Amino acid sequence: MKCMWNKRRNFLLLIRIRTTGRMRLAFPLLLPVLEETLEEAGDWMGIWVKLIPKPKSPLILADLFLQSCLELLREFRKLGSWHLIKIDTPEARVYIDLK
Amino acid sequence: MNQERLKILQLIEEGKVTASEGLELLQALEAPRESKPADGRERVFRVKVDGDKTKVNVNIPLRLVRVASKFATLGMNFIPEQARTELDNRGIDLSQFDFDELIDLIDQGLVDGKLVDVNVEDPNEGRITVEVYVE
Which range among A3-7, A50-54, B49-53, B95-99 shows the weakest confidence by mean pLDDT? A3-7
Other beta carbons within 10 angstroms of residue B134's beta carbon come to: 19
Cβ separation A86–B57 shorter than 8 A:
yes
pLDDT at A23 over 50: yes
| Among the partner residues B59, B64, B74, nearest to A64 by beta-carbon distance | B74
pLDDT at A51 over 50: yes
All residues of chain B having their beta carbon less than 8 Å from the beta carbon of residue A84 are 58-60
Of B44, B68, B65, the residue nearest B134 (C-alpha): B44
pTM of the model: 0.65
Residue of B nearest to A82 (CA): B59
Q: Residue A27: its pLDDT value, please?
A: 92
Indicate if ipTM > 0.85.
no
Run of H or E including A88: strand A82-88
* Average confidence (pLDDT) over A74-96: 90
Angle, nearest 10°, between helix axes B2-13 and B19-30?
170
d(CA A90, CA B11): 60
Q: Residue B103: its pLDDT value, please?
A: 76
| Identity of residue B56 | V
Top pLDDT among A97 and B124 is at: A97
Q: Residue B110: its pLDDT value, please?
A: 64
Q: A2 CA to chain B: closest CA distance, Å?
A: 30
Residue of B nearest to A97 (CA): B59
Q: Bridge-partner residues for A25, per DSSP?
A: A17
Backbone φ and ψ for A80, nearest 5 degrees, come out as 85, 180
What tens digit of pLDDT does each residue of B9-60 get?
888 888 887 787 778 777 777 665 555 555 566 788 899 999 888 899 999 8
Q: Residue B84: its pLDDT value, please?
A: 79
Q: How far does Cα B77 stand from its chain's mean position?
A: 18
d(CA B135, CA B107): 10
Half-sphere exposure of A29 (CA within 13 A, CB side): 15
Half-sphere exposure of B46 (CA within 13 A, CB side): 18
Is the CB of residue B2 less than 8 Å away from at least one CB of chain A?
no
